[in-house]
Each structure stands twice: as structure tokens, then as C-alpha cells.
Amino acid sequence: MNDSYLPPLNDLRFVLDDVLDYGRLFSLPAFEHADVELADVVLAESARFAAGVLAPLNATGDEQGSRLENGRVVTPPGFRDAYWHYVEAGWPGLDMPQEFGGQALPVTLQAACAEMVNGACVAFGMLPLMERAATRLLVAHAPKGLVDVVAPSLATGRWGATICISEAQAGSDVGRIATRAERQSDGGYCVTGTKIFITYGDQDFTEQIIHMVLARIPGSPPGTRGLSLFLVPARALQANGTPGASNGVTVTRVEHKMGLKASPTCVVNFDGAQAYLVGQENAGLKAMFTMVNTMRLEVAMQGVAVAGAATAKALRYALERPQGGRADAPAVAIVEHADVRRMLYLMRARTEAMRALVLEAALQLDLAQAGPEAPRADALALAEWLLPVCKACGSDAGFEVANLAVQVFGGHGYVADAGVEQYVRDSRVMSIYEGANGIQALDLVMRKLPQDNGKRYSLFAARIRADLDRNSGCAELREIRDAVVDGLLRLDACTDAIAQRVANVSRDAEAGASAYLALVGLVAGGWMWLRMAAAASGDSPLHEVKRALARFYAEYLMPEALTLQRRALLGAASLDTLDAETLTGGR
């Protein structure tokens, strides 16, 4: 049981086809080389690959972990073969440009496939993610000569990649990065410093690893405005593109983590490593933002992936596990107990809301990039609004749902064999990495909300209102519609109040930021359920489930808005009653 994975193909198809109508993407010039039938084949193949090749690695990867041996990372048995299988099947380049060997398919399709890859083995999925993010960075900002040498190998997964940001003294506070990049007489650069928490900082899959490194050129301004972005190859780049001599990049440590053990989290040391500037000097952080959307979307999908995988196992267990009922009769399946049902409904309702929301965000990214010219700005604004919400709520949902799966399994869930406790451990980091969820909340409240006179929120609320209007007559949708109406009113009120605070007493806005983000995510989830229920008007069991879950979301989950609203408006006063020493000290 612990190495099985049931890809949620039908649920994905329902969202993509019936809720989002993503087929329209294939009439756009950027995607007209494909069509919805091809996309469905890709989806089905991804499911087969995830379940057949990746899922069997998940438990053993966790058990054995990646480790450091003689200065090199050794990954668990089977990972290297699976990786090359993945590369040869062309998966790394799914949404990468065709000129670099990619297939230029929509981000939306890539996101759906990413759910299945990560649902089967999230530790595996980390490396392709870094490769996609690095390719995007290079294509957007690197000189053409460099792109031509690197991108074809990176976009197709023949080379690995890392994103090197954190240092011991610079976590969320990126501006304190101290890694130095010295200009050389030949116009190149030379990077020296130590980066921590580097995912797949080394591996035994590829002959070359491209590190994308934030560093500081001596004499640059302090803070984030003095950071530059560099490409640092693990082995020197030769003119013909083949990897040359070792380039002063060494892994000195692989962290012993709570989960994601097969994904090596490394301390990477750069010692005068040959480096190529990407973008302008001191514009490194801005360049890095190119990959932020890719990363946030993927982490959100990792959360959905773990939630979906955990839910599938819990549903099967609940149907098969007899326990309880009359003493003189055979035990009933635990799915019949009200409290178990409550957990299963909750798991499905939360997971499927987030799945739809993340795919909606992906669709907006596609439309912003390749959609009809006029609405592109709106699509981008909506995507930018949704992404911190997806990242934070998706990661939180992954952890919450994984924990509920353990609870459904009871004592058996606490034991490794059931394969559910790993989901809890693997998903725990998702609310931390790629911008901790508290940072996402600040991004939403302090940047996304006030910029452009609140345009992004207005757009978001207007989309929801349009869907409320569109479905105002349908009795079947009453519960979810009423709940979204109520939630949106509360959210409107919160948004006004928070926006004023951002302008006036920003610490009050900061104090409520996490709750505000959670409220946005909750209402957005309700919006998704309204759309899913509206699309599920048929008699099939799938449609019946969607309508039932929409009602449950309305009745059980939407009341969280009552608490979140109060918390979002709490303000800093009750957090600033104590000085730091009194709050923490004398202990």
C-alpha cells in the first residue's frame, strides 16, 4: 500500500475541461501546435509515469535518503534510473521553449502533471522544478550566447540546476546575502561564499549542474538593491558546451531533515568559482523574481499533490477497514462513522478547492503570456494576486490533509508501513521554503493589495461576483452560493480596513496579514466550489460528489471566515503589549 499512488485523473480532467475550459488555450498561436486531445494523452501518460515509475521510489527514498560520500551526493537506489527515464520521455521540457528542446505546452498542463509527479514522489519532483525555474531565469535575463550554451541542456533535463539564495545570516532577509562576486580582468566574475538549504545542490544524475546564485559585487549598495545574479556551473563551461574542469563548487553537508529525505538539501561552498553575470549588476533580485511565479505555483501544487495522495489512501482505507457497529454483527467500514466522514469530506473539499485554484492561477499565467493581447494585463494581475495565496494555502492544505489522513488511519497511520506519515513530514517544509507563508502574507498585504490602486483585489472580487451572478437562479447551488456571498462581503470589509492600515499604520496590517491571506484563500476556495458545482449538473457519481462537497465546503469550511475576519482585523496592539525580553525572557 505504501508505494501505491492513484493519480486523480478524473478530478483533474473535470477541473481542466469542465470548470476552466482550458481547451481554449489551444486556439492561441503559442499553443496551436497542440490540442486538447494531445494534452489529454500527456496527462494520462504523466499519470502512468507517476504511478508506475515514481511512486515505487517514494518510501525507499524516504528510508534511505540522499547522503554525502567523499564530497559527492549519493541519491537513493532507483532515483538515477527514474530520472533518466523522465528525461528521455521528455518530461522536463513540457512547458519550455521549443527552440531549446522543450514542447512549449501550457503551464496549466505542466501544473496538472506536476500534481501527479509530486503526488507520487515529491522529493523527486524538486530537481525538475529547479531546472525549469533556472531555464526561465536564463531565457529572460542571460545574454544570448550563454543561453545558447546552457538552455538546451537545462530545458531538457540533461543538466541539473539549483537556485542559491539562502545563507546562514540571510534567510527571509535576502538583503543580507554576503556571498561575494569579484569582477575579473577578462570581464567575468569569480564567486566566493557559502549557501545553505540548496535543493539538489549536488546529485549523481547529471554530469553538469548549473547554479543560479545571488551574490554581492564589492562596492554595491547594502540590502537587496546590491544583489546580482550569476550563473555558476559546477564544472567549467567549455566553448563546445561540454563540462570541463571542476569549478570550485563543493557540497560540504547534506542536512538531516524531517522529510523530503531523498531530496538532498545541501550546504554549497563557492570558492572563487568562475561565474557569468545574468542580467544587470545589482538587478539580481529583480531578475530572480522571474522564477518566483514558477516556484510558488509548483509549491502550491506540491501541497495539492500530497493532499490528493493522502486523501486517496485515506478514502481506500476508510472503505476497507472494518471497525465498530453492533457487537453481534460484522464490523462496519469506518467510512460509515460520522466523524470519519467529517474528516474525509474535509480532506476532499479542501484538496479539490486548492487544486482548482492552483490550476486557475496557472491558466491566468498562460493567458498573461500567450492569451489575447487586450486582457493579458488583467490575467497577469489576477495571477499575481492568486500566487501568494496559492503558495500559502496550498502548502497549508497539504499538511492539514496529510495529518487528517494519519488520523483516519489511527495508530496504523503513525507507523511508516501505511505510507501516510511520510506525507506529513514531506509536506511540513512547504509552508517554509520558497518564501515562508508569513512572507507570502506580507507580499499579499503590503505589495499586491496596495499596488495599482487595489486593482488586483478588485479584479479578483469582480470575477467572483460575475460567477455569483451567472449562477444566481440555481436552487442546487444555494448553499455554496450563499456562503460565497457572505464570505465575499466579509472579505470586502476586511480588505478596505487592511488597505487603510497599509497606508496608515502598517504594523496593524502586518499583524493581520496571515489571517487575511487565509481568508482570501478560503473565499477563493468557495468560488472554485461554486464553479465546480455549477459544472457538475449531471447524474454521474463524479458530479454527485462535486455537488455534495460544495455543500460541505459551504457549511463546514466557509464558517472559518468568521474567525479569520476577526483575526485579520486584530491589529498590532495586542501583540505589542510586551517588550521582547518580557515576552521571551526570564525563562
Judged by beta carbon, residue 96 or residue 304, the one nearer a copy of itself is: 304
Q: Considering the complex, what minimum distance in angstroms separates the CB of residue 578 from a copy of itself?
A: 5
Q: Which three cell numbers stand for residue 408?
A: 483516519
Judged by beta carbon, residue 240 or residue 582, the one nearer a copy of itself is: 582
Judged by beta carbon, residue 160 or residue 226, the one nearer a copy of itself is: 226
Judged by beta carbon, residue 94 or residue 494, the one nearer a copy of itself is: 494
Judged by beta carbon, residue 105 or residue 227, the one nearer a copy of itself is: 227
Phi, psi of 226 (to 5 degrees): -115, 20
From the CA atom positions of the chain, what is the Rg in Å? 24
Number of residues that bind a copy of itself (CB under 8 A): 106
Q: Does 148 bind a copy of itself (CB under 8 A)?
A: no
Which residues within the stretch 442-481 sit at the binding site for a copy of itself (CB under 8 A)?
Answer: 442
Piece of the chain touching a copy of itself by CB under 8 A; list 30-38, 93-101, 141-149, 319-327: 319-327
Q: Does 415 bind a copy of itself (CB under 8 A)?
A: yes
Judged by beta carbon, residue 154 or residue 164, the one nearer a copy of itself is: 164
Q: Considering the complex, what minimum distance in angstroms separates the CB of residue 262 from a copy of itself?
A: 15
Q: Does 567 bind a copy of itself (CB under 8 A)?
A: yes
Piece of the chain touching a copy of itself by CB under 8 A; list 67-75, 77-85, 379-387, 552-560: 552-560
With cell 492600515, the residue in question is 501
Q: How far apart are CA 518 and CA 216, in angstroms?
A: 35
Catalytic annotation, pick one of 131, 434, 479, 510 = 434
Q: How far apart are CA 175 and CA 198, in angstroms?
A: 18
Q: Does 493 bind a copy of itself (CB under 8 A)?
A: no
Residue 434 a catalytic site member: yes
Q: Does 414 bind a copy of itself (CB under 8 A)?
A: yes
Q: Show the DSSP H helices in 142-166 as ranges.
A: 144-155
Judged by beta carbon, residue 447 or residue 470, the one nearer a copy of itself is: 447
Q: Does 68 bind a copy of itself (CB under 8 A)?
A: no
Phi, psi of 282 (to 5 degrees): 65, 10
Q: Considering the complex, what minimum distance in angstroms separates the CB of residue 26 from a copy of itself?
A: 28
Q: Does 338 bind a copy of itself (CB under 8 A)?
A: yes
Which residues within the stretch 511-550 sit at the binding site for a copy of itself (CB under 8 A)?
Answer: 511, 513-514, 541-542, 544-545, 548
Piece of the chain touching a copy of itself by CB under 8 A; list 18-26, 269-277, 370-378, 503-511: 503-511
Annotate 299-353 with DSSP letters as a single string.
HHHHHHHHHHHHHHHHHHHHHH-B--S-TTSPPPBGGGSHHHHHHHHHHHHHHHH
Burial track 555-585 (b if 16+ CB lie within 10 A, e otherwise) = eebbeebeebbeebbebbeeeeeeeeeeeee
Q: How far apart are CA 319 and CA 337, in angstroms?
A: 11
Q: How far apart are CA 16 and CA 348, in angstroms?
A: 17
Q: How far apart are CA 141 and CA 189, in angstroms?
A: 17
Judged by beta carbon, residue 10 or residue 184, the one nearer a copy of itself is: 10
Phi, psi of 304 (to 5 degrees): -60, -40
Q: How far apart are CA 553 and CA 108, in angstroms?
A: 25
Phi, psi of 337 (to 5 degrees): -75, 135
Select the residue interacting with a copy of itself from 27, 246, 252, 323 (CB under 8 A): 323
Piece of the chain touching a copy of itself by CB under 8 A; list 115-123, 141-149, 460-468, 506-514: 506-514
Select the residue interacting with a copy of itself from 158, 257, 286, 463 (CB under 8 A): 257
Piece of the chain touching a copy of itself by CB under 8 A; list 104-112, 223-231, 448-456, 469-477: 223-231
Q: How far apart are CA 337 and CA 197, in angstroms?
A: 43
Piece of the chain touching a copy of itself by CB under 8 A; list 104-112, 237-245, 295-303, 333-341: 333-341
Which residues within the stretch 350-369 sit at the binding site for a copy of itself (CB under 8 A)?
Answer: none
Q: Considering the complex, what minimum distance in angstroms separates the CB of residue 266 from a copy of itself?
A: 12
Orientation angle between helical segments 144-155 and 107-141, nearest 10 degrees: 150
Judged by beta carbon, residue 196 or residue 363, the one nearer a copy of itself is: 196
Piece of the chain touching a copy of itself by CB under 8 A; list 46-54, 353-361, 464-472, 578-586: 578-586
Which residues within the stretch 87-146 sit at the binding site for a copy of itself (CB under 8 A)?
Answer: none
Residue span 7-36 as binding mask against a copy of itself, x where in contact by CB under 8 A, dash where not = -x-x--------------------------
Which residues within the stretch 383-412 sit at the binding site for a copy of itself (CB under 8 A)?
Answer: 399, 403, 406-407, 410-412
Compute CA 54 distance to the chain's CA centroid, rounded to the nearest angstrom. Answer: 19
Annotate 167-223 with DSSP letters as a single string.
BTTBSS-GGG---EEEEPTTS-EEEEEEEEEEETSS-SS-S-EEEEEEEE-TTPPSG
Distances (CA, A) of 103 to 17, 32, 38, 96, 118: 21, 12, 12, 6, 20
Select the residue interacting with a copy of itself from 438, 468, 476, 505 (CB under 8 A): 438
Which residues within the stretch 158-197 sit at the binding site for a copy of itself (CB under 8 A)?
Answer: 166, 169, 171-173, 175-176, 196-197
Q: What 3-state class would DSSP assign to 529? A: helix
Q: Does 433 bind a copy of itself (CB under 8 A)?
A: yes
Phi, psi of 94 (to 5 degrees): -45, -50
Q: Write the single-letter amino acid at 129.
A: L
Q: Does 503 bind a copy of itself (CB under 8 A)?
A: no
Select the residue interacting with a copy of itself from 272, 324, 375, 538 (CB under 8 A): 324
Q: What 3-state class would DSSP assign to 65? A: coil
Is there a contact between 434 and 391 (Cβ–Cβ < 8 Å)? Answer: yes
The catalytic site residues sit at 434
